[in-house]
Structure 1
Amino acid sequence: MDNFYQKDISAWVDKYRPGLKRYFSSRVASADVDDLVQEVFAQLHWHLNQSDIEIENPRNYIYTVAKNLLVSHSRYHKSRCRAFHESLSLDYEIPDVITPERTVIGMQDCRCVLKAILGLPPRAGAAFKFHRFEGLTYQDIAERMGISKESVKELIQRALIRVRRAVEEVS
């Protein structure tokens, strides 16, 4: 890439970064804004390096890339069910000492979870164990069990619900 495009990119970053930040800030979590802005300019840089085509209207190009990134970002987070995730908080008190009482409670909780897992129906238990203990993907489990990927997802969800209920009953 020649210096002409280097100067253009620097000028475009300075000119369009604040507007892109505002654009993304109103649409995504604040933690993702800077990453998305950076990705817009990374794609711009890549395009200028890989293509002989000149960008006639940088603003339109930049905001088109931003819009496409926003769609991809949204799809990614929907597929990961981000709304159901809880962020970690540093407000939890972490005990300094492992007391005998905490050890017994931990062992009881562990037994409860194991009992719930062992009590799962055979197919749900197998799918759950393949996924959680062997780290297999839904697709791998589906092939191994001879069922669809959606069936695997359903079996694992049911297994998780049963394990959670068992733990909640004891607590």
Structure 2
Amino acid sequence: MNEEQDNDLAGWIKQYSVGLRRYFARRVNDADVDDLVQEVFVHLQAKRQDTAIDNPQSYTFTVARNVLISHYRRQKTRSHAFQESLTHEMEIPDFISPERTAIGIEEYRRVVQAILNLPPRARAAFQFHRFENMTYQAIAKRMGISKESVKELIHRALVQIRQARGEES
């Protein structure tokens, strides 16, 4: 490309960039406008190396329209792929059968009964920690015992609950 053609392209950029920005701004997100304008000038530069262009304004906006169509197609493909991925993620992998519901209810009852059967201090420490979201330090202060004692009480409670559920500790 010689210097005259470089100046000519620079002139086109100066002359048509504002109009192209306005053209794209009405049709796409603001974040995409500059990229699309740049893409138009990349196409123009490639075309100008092969062939002389008789009507630069008409050709520039024809290229802009084609770039916009390509942009819409890319967006449609991306959104379709995104929707497919969401659809796959939202599928319920396992049907919740009445049998599974009954098993869940029975396990819930066993856990509640295990909590109720805990020694009073272990049950209190466990409830403070799990249901009231208290720290070991806060529980120790409230119960008037050491933090290590709270840890031990909660550990014992968890072991008993796991045993009640049929898990090994």
| TM-score with structure 1 setting the length | 0.49
Bigger helix fraction: 2
